[in-house]
Structure 1
Amino acid sequence: MSEHRPATVTVFASPASWIESDAVDQCHQVAALDGMVHVAGMPDLHPGKGAPIGAAMASTVLYPLLVGSDIGCGIAVFPIRLKRVVPERLAARFPDLDEEPDADDPAWDVLDGDIPADHLDGLGTVGRGNHFVELAQVRTVLDPGHAGRLGLADGDVVLIVHSGSRGLGERILRAHTDVHGAGPAEDPAAYLVEHDQAVRWGSLNRRLIAARVALALGAVPTEPIVDQCHNLVEVRDGVYLHRKGAAPGDGRDVLIAGTRGTPSYLVAAHAGPDANHSVAHGAGRKMSRADALRRGRAKHTVEELRRTPVGSLVVCGDRQLLFEEAPTAYKRIEQVIADLVEHSLATPVATTVPLITYKTADLGSEPRREQRRRRDRR
């Protein structure tokens, strides 16, 4: 009878990076699970509920908890052509993305075919937490040839959508954990069928959200030039590769999100097996939500947080969320990118800088309150 050996663990971060010991401990806890082969921590690694966030975990056993509840969460980038870009005016025109679109909303036209799992609840909404929709501008093109192939140039405006499968992924995970807890999937094939539906749902949701915003801003909806999911599991090289807050890095273009007050980076990912073919998905939290709320309230006012260090605007009607998601709650995106470059996992293509970041509807104005009242009366 052979002795079980814990999987190998590699964290792709430099000594200058902010990596909590709790997050590394979680990687080693995952490595001790039955069937685990290799755990790769990305430079945005931070502790999560039951599993580290910013990690790619390869195993001969499928563990739904390692993917989490927001199956299909990802980031998509959509070109958008606007006649004039005046953030103050455009911010007021964003639709209420906490509410599903009306049945006659023309944004529905971007969806072809059936809705995965026939799940309509929340379709077209962005969700809370770290999800967002951003109107951003290409600030610096670092690889003109690659950017040109994507149709991007300095000064172009794009929509960035970060959202997932809303309640569908949570329903799938709960059905598993209610019976098996943190244990492996009893029927991996059956789980994967539902999982794949949630991944497709998340991608459709990002398209519908982008179409709603584009139409509200007077633009024509477009197809995404980047759309990568960072909460999923795939079968690769005969093992289950779980990604929790880690984007596919096998020759794909990935938008690695900064914060609402810093640039984001579009990169060409080329991560190999040591990194479980994965790259970071964002800056990664360095403060818990409770710490960000406590420290933020001591340092900033709500109005200060509605205008970011780069001069962009934040649409957010939830004051607590403003503090929890403040730029200071996150790691330096520049260091995350530097670590990826140093470890030959990705090559930066371009940076984008936010103009407007939508977190949740701000219904403080009379017109928006009246919109909500009219909708509630229907």
Structure 2
Amino acid sequence: MSATLSKASVSVFASPSSWIESDALDQCHQVAALDGMVHVAAMPDLHPGKGAPIGAAMSSRVLYPLLVGSDIGCGIAVFPIRIKRPAPERLATRFPDLDKPLDPDDELLQDQEIPMGYGEQLATVGRGNHFVELARVRTVHDEAHAERLGLRAKDLVLIVHSGSRGLGERILRAHTEEHGAGPAADVDAYLTAHDAAVRWGSLNRRLMAARVARALGAPAEEPIVDECHNSVTLVDGRYLHRKGAANGDGRDVLVAGTRGTASYLVAAHAGADANYSVAHGAGRKMSRSDALVRGKAKHTVEELRRTPVGSYVVCGDRQLLFEEAPTAYKKIERVIDDLVEHKLATPVVSTLPVVTYKVADKGGRR
């Protein structure tokens, strides 16, 4: 469905039965009314964000840092991992503390070029919806494509979702303190910093995967997928801002579900009408405050730490457990169906969580 009420065109790639908040649609039209905007493509995981919708790809003749947000370079990477006898409860106790940065002398940092020299939070996951997950391939939907990626049913993978941490925040703050929500005054300077944050986010995901593999006694592997979903690039002579939307131009993308549901690795083939983008996850259907209130009325902490699919959640922050409960998110299958129906992507494999790491549990609950 499309709308032409704003200066720029707005297209929503979701079926009428999909959950799309009116506030998120309003934000799309507010963005479309900005000077220089050309087209806003809203993904099926669309939901309201701070100053701009999350789950949208927005093309413009003007670069707006706020449309990328503070977590520049945030994305999801998928790594193969080989573990003998992967018992979820035992493995959950062996995850490293990913809130604590690596020691500067750690072998994983040797010969690493750290973008902008920002080593303060390197190899840490952060809060919010970020996570590191040991998952198992549940279903292979496209055998030939899965084989090219080296994936088979029952294989284990590490899924790492994080970004540029304080570096991205620092870059956005430097802009907003002077220019607020306005366009970048020095496009080249912003893009130089932005590109460094994107590289930092990718390095961060790789280092976390290596930390987890080492802790679980597995060799470190190169990622088979690593796509960021908060970025701006030049496409067709325009600035394409993605906020919670992944590059869908012939890429493989992991569309994350929740810690209690499946995720889907898809082959993306989105065109210009979708701003060459696809969804990055299930998308919230409850605010954090609503999820906290409703979750406490429905669930106990222990219920949220052991999911219906038999996986374990490592999370020492009780409030975050409720805020990030699976019920706070849309159904991932509906999001994937919308991508397929709109010819934006094709499923390759689906995965189910075994252990999901959110925040270190220093209380030793087990």
Quickly name the TM-score band, shorter chain normalised: over 0.9
SS in 1 for 2:108: helix
**Which residue matches 2:147?**
148
Q: How many residues align?
A: 362
Q: Which residue of 1 aligns with 2:3?
A: none
Aligned to 2:297: 298
Q: 1:24 is paired with a residue of what secondary structure? A: helix
Q: Which amino acid in 2 is paired with 1:62?
A: L
- Aligned equivalent of 1:321: 320
Alignment of 1:226-375 (within 5 A): 226-365=225-364
Report Cα offsets for 1:88-145 as digits up to 9, x if no partner.
Answer: 1111000000001223433335xx5421000001001000000000000000000000
Query: Contact (CA 8 Å) 1:107, 1:215: kept in 2 or not?
Result: no
CA distance, structure 2, for counterparts of residue 310 and residue 290 of structure 1: 25
Paired with 1:366 and 1:180, the residues of 2 have a C-alpha distance of 47
Q: Alpha-carbon deviations, 1:256-295, whole Å to 9, x = none?
A: 0000000000000000000000000000000000000000
Q: Which residue type is aligned with residue 339 of structure 1?
A: D
Partner amino acid for 1:21?
S
Alignment of 1:165-180 (within 5 A): 165-180=164-179
1:121-200 paired onto structure 2 within 5 Å: 121-200=120-199
- In 2, the alpha carbon distance for the partners of 1:36 and 1:352 equals 37
Specify the SS of the correspondent of 1:267: strand
3-state SS of 2:134 partner: strand
Question: In structure 1, how many angstroms separate the alpha carbons of the residues matched to 2:271 and 2:203?
Answer: 29
CA–CA separation in structure 1 for the residues paired with 2:33 and 2:365: 56
Partner in structure 2 of residue 52 of structure 1: 53
TM-score between the two structures when normalised by the length of structure 1: 0.94
Partner of 1:209: helix, strand, or coil? helix
* Percent identity of equivalent pairs: 78
Structure 1 residue aligned with 2:220 = 221
SS of aligned partner of 2:264: strand
Residue-by-residue CA offset, 1:51-87 (whole Å, 9 max, x unaligned): 0000000000000000000000000000001111011
Q: SS where residue 85 of structure 2 aligns?
A: coil
Structure 1's unaligned 5+ residue stretches are 368-378
CA–CA separation in structure 1 for the residues paired with 2:84 and 2:321:
30
* Superimposed CA distance per residue, residues 19-66 of structure 1 (whole angstroms, 9 cap, x where no aligned partner): 000000000000000000000000000000000000000000000000
Q: Secondary structure at the match of 1:82?
A: coil
* TM-score normalised per structure 2: 0.97
Matched position secondary structure for 2:138: strand
C-alpha distance in 2, partners of 1:67/1:9?
A: 18
| Alignment-derived partner of residue 370 in structure 1 | none
Q: CA deviation at 1:309?
A: 1.5
Structure 2 residue ranges without an equivalent (≥5): 1-5
Contact 1:68 1:231 in 2 (8 A): yes
Deviation at 1:351, TM superposition (A): 0.2
